[in-house]
Amino acid sequence: MHHDDSPPAPRPPRRSKLALTLALAVSASAALAGWLAWGAMSGAAESAPPTARPAPGPSASAPSPAAPGPSVAASSVAAPLAGRTVVIDPGHNPGNFKHPREINRLVDIGTNRKECDTTGTSTNSGYTEAAFTLDVSRRLRTLLQEQGATVVLTQDADRPYGPCIDERARIGNTAGADAVVSVHADGSAVGNRGFHVILPAVVKGGAADTSKIVGPSRALGESVAREFARATGSAPANYLGGGTGLDVRKDLGGLNLSTVPKVFVECGNMRDPKDVASLTDAAWRQRAAQGIAAGVRTYLRG
Mean pLDDT, the chain, as a whole number?
84
Q: Is residue 249 domain-resident?
A: yes
Q: Is residue 272 domain-resident?
A: yes
pLDDT at 93: 98
Q: What is the pTM of this model?
A: 0.76
pLDDT at 190: 98
pLDDT at 214: 98
Q: Is residue 12 domain-resident?
A: no
| C-alpha dist (Å) from residue 111 to 16, 68, 107, 208, 252 | 132, 56, 11, 7, 10
Q: For 272-281, how does the pLDDT look when each residue is reduced to its tens digit (9 = 90+)?
A: 999 999 999 9
Range of the domain at 135: 78-301
Angle at 48 (CA atoms; ends 42, 54), nearest 5 degrees: 125
Confidence of residue 78 (pLDDT cuts 50, 70, 90): confident
| C-alpha dist (Å) from residue 59 to 53, 62, 64, 118, 258 | 15, 10, 15, 75, 65
Among the residue ranges 47-56, 85-94, 108-117, 258-267, the one predicted with the least confidence is: 47-56
pLDDT above 90 as % of the chain: 74
Q: Is residue 20 domain-resident?
A: no
Q: For 81-102, how does the pLDDT look when each residue is reduced to its tens digit (9 = 90+)?
A: 999 999 999 999 999 999 999 9
What contacts 240, CB < 8 A, 6 or more positions away? 196, 247
Q: Is residue 275 domain-resident?
A: yes
As to burial, measured by CB atoms within 10 angstroms (0-12 exposed, 13-18 middle, 19+ buried), residue 149 is buried
Q: Is residue 118 domain-resident?
A: yes
Q: For 261-298, how does the pLDDT look when each residue is reduced to its tens digit (9 = 90+)?
A: 999 999 999 999 999 999 999 999 999 999 999 999 99
Q: Is residue 11 domain-resident?
A: no
pLDDT over 90 at 12, yes or no: no
Counted domains in the chain: 1
pLDDT at 133: 98
pLDDT over 70 at 4, yes or no: no
Assign 153 to helix, strand or coil. strand
pLDDT at 157: 97
| Mean pLDDT score, 168-185 | 98
| pLDDT, greater one: 2 or 91 | 91
Is the peptide bond prior to 94 cis by the omega test (within 30 degrees of 0)? no
CATH number of the domain encompassing residue 188: 3.40.630.40
pLDDT at 71: 54
Q: Is residue 64 domain-resident?
A: no
| Mean pLDDT score, 238-265 | 97
Confidence of residue 45 (pLDDT cuts 50, 70, 90): very low
266 is catalytic: yes
pLDDT at 70: 52
